[in-house]
């Protein structure tokens, strides 16, 4: 995984973006500033407060490294995100899950389609054992496919993908 991207918008009670607010990220239930990265590829993490500020649209973002990073964290570490702009806004949210739970991936190729009453379908047996896994489809040039008709869970280990017409060979990633 390496790094997880977190982003949000800070707005006032009327929905107006708050520009220039200081954003500080702490380890949950503490005043220990967390190490964050300013981008997915930067090599330096900082724990100097504030780690970031909001832009003119109230937008802010940062990345948290996992245990594979020099300044990363392990699951189930939670975080506290605070914001402050003198005279305008101040607050925090604690116990924020930024690092996702352990994720399993299953990748395979679908080249055989079964004809059905409304088109074609393929069943993918993936052993994710999650009721609603995340499914992504790619064509042979690795462009994401979005013209599927329906994707549904057949069981906790089988996902069925439907198309109106035969899409040819596809690559599927199932994340659970």
Is the bond into 13 cis (omega within 30 degrees of 0)? no
Residue 52 has pLDDT above 90, yes or no: yes
Domains of the chain, by residue range, sit at 3-96, 105-175
In percent, how much of the chain has pLDDT > 90?
A: 47
pLDDT of residue 72: 85
| Residue 47 DSSP SS3 | coil
Q: What is the Cα–Cα distance from 82 to 97, expressed in whole angstroms?
A: 14
Task: Identify which of 11, 68, 58, 76 has the alpha carbon closest to the alpha carbon of residue 37.
Answer: 68
Residue 60 DSSP symbol: E
Which residues, including other chains, have CB under 8 Å from residue 16's CB and lie 6 or more apart? none
Q: What is the Cα–Cα distance from 118 to 68, expressed in whole angstroms?
A: 46
Query: How many CA within 13 A on the CB side of residue 65?
Result: 20
Q: What is the Cα–Cα distance from 167 to 111, expressed in whole angstroms?
A: 9
User: pLDDT per residue over 151-165, tens digit each?
Assistant: 888 887 888 899 999
pLDDT of residue 122: 92
* Average pLDDT value for the chain: 87
CATH no., domain 3-96: 2.60.40
The pTM (predicted TM-score) of the whole model is 0.57
Q: What is the Cα–Cα distance from 115 to 136, expressed in whole angstroms?
A: 21
Please name the residue that has the structure tokens 């490294």.
65
Residue 37 has pLDDT above 90, yes or no: yes
pLDDT of residue 129: 62
User: pLDDT per residue over 96-144, tens digit each?
Assistant: 988 876 556 778 899 999 998 889 999 988 766 665 567 788 888 888 8
User: pLDDT per residue over 77-98, tens digit each?
Assistant: 899 999 999 988 899 999 998 8
């Amino acid at each position: 995984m390496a790094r997880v991207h977190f982003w949000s918008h800070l707005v006032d009670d009327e929905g107006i973006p708050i520009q220039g607010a200081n954003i500080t990220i702490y380890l949950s239930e503490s005043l220990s500033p967390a190490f964050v990265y300013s981008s997915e590829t930067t090599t330096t993490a900082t724990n100097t407060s504030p780690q970031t500020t909001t832009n003119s649209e109230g937008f802010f973002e940062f990345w948290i490294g996992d245990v594979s990073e020099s300044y990363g964290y392990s699951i189930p570490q939670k975080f506290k995100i605070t914001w402050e702009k003198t005279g305008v806004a101040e607050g925090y949210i604690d116990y924020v899950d930024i690092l996702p739970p352990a994720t399993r991936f299953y990748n395979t190729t679908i080249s055989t389609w079964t004809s059905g009453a409304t088109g074609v379908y393929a069943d993918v047996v993936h052993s994710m054992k999650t009721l609603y896994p995340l499914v992504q489809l790619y064509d042979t040039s690795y462009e994401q496919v979005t013209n599927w008709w329906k994707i549904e869970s057949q069981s906790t280990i089988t996902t069925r993908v439907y198309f109106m017409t035969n899409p040819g060979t596809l690559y599927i990633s199932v994340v659970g």
